[in-house]
Each structure stands twice: as C-alpha cells, then as structure tokens.
Structure 1
Amino acid sequence: MQVQYKIWLEKNNEQVFGEGLQKLLSAIKRLGSIRQAAAEMRMSYRQAWGHLRTAEQRLQMRLIETKVGGETGGGTELTEEAGILLERFERLENTLEPLVEDLFRQIFPD
C-alpha cells in the first residue's frame, strides 16, 4: 500500500495553481512555446490558453509574455512572478513529499 495526495493553491475558494498549471508552465519555460507545451501535454492550443487566462484572472497577475516573430522568431516566456510562483510551488511539493511518506509509514507500519 502507498499514499497518494494532491496539492493545489486556492484564492477566494477557487483553485489558482495545481499540477496541471505547474506542468504547463514548466513546459512553456523549457520549450519557449505555448503551442509546443500544449502538444507535449496532449491538449489543444486553445485549452492551454484557456488555462492560462483563467489562472491569470484568478491570481490577478500575468503568467506569460509572448513575443511576436521576427528575425529571432517568436516565443513565450514566463513572467518573473510566474517563475517565482512555479519555483515556490515545486519547493512546497518537494518538501511535503518526504513528510507525507514518513507520516504514512508511521501510521501504516505494516
């Protein structure tokens, strides 16, 4: 037997950040493209934009900056605030994982 759990952040009783947005922002950060991030996550470009817009409205902050193509090509980057939010969420997740595992082993020793 093993323990499973999910972590998300809420604001005004609405989910504002969770696993889905974490994965989307991580992929955008790594790939520099909403379209490529959406494809990697097997979601449509429209769905990805919808998730981003909803999160931006609920958080009341911009998460991404898009650049129109040109000589260097277009692309998408995370805002500084989004990068901080992503890093803090991942730090929270990484801190909680061993704690939850330890508690599980204490409460369910067999």
Structure 2
Amino acid sequence: MFFASNSIPTPEIVWWALIPVIVFSVSGVLLLTVSSLLKKEVSWLAPGVSLTAGIFVLLSSIPMWNRIQNDGPISFLNNSVGTDGSTIFLTSLIAIALISTSILARPYLSREG
C-alpha cells in the first residue's frame, strides 16, 4: 500500500498556445541578463534580440491562427487561460509593433546614443 501508484490530477497544458508568451518572456530576461553582464555596450544586441523574438512570435502565430480557426477557441490550465482569434490577433499586433520599433529606432538610437 505504501508504494501504490496513485495518479495526481494535473491541469492540461497546451504548450503551442503558450509559445508567444514564453518567447517574449525569455527574450526579455535574456536581453536584460546579457546586457547587464557585458562591460562594453553592444549597439546591436537589443534590436537584434527584439527583432528575432518578434519574428519568431509572428511566425508561430500563423499555425496557431489556422488551428484556432479550424478547431475553435480553447481553454486550458483548468480554464484559467483561453486562446481565441482575438488573442492571436493581438499577439501578432504586438509582435509587429516590436519588429517595427526595433527597425525604426535603430538609426535614432545609434545617432543620439
């Protein structure tokens, strides 16, 4: 009885729906960590990491959009997180804003320092 295998109920985690949040979070923490550890400022680090994260999130939103349009909205983690078309649209809009800001701010930041 001591070694009986009782399964522990765990919530369903839909990892593909969490990819944009994970990428935005990891890229921000990575950028802060690396830039704080460098002695000399690297001018391309922040735009490069931001641009890479934005492009990755934007490209990962395309299959998510197709899946949600075919299967309908989903909720997971015991109905605490929901993903539907508007969520993916706003995530893509944030990624586009991040990409365009990274591209447009680079000349200004290098000029003004």
TM bucket, shorter chain: 0.3 to 0.5
Higher relative contact order (CA 8 A, sep 6+): 2
**TM-score where L is the length of structure 1:** 0.34
More helix by share: 2
More strand by share: 1
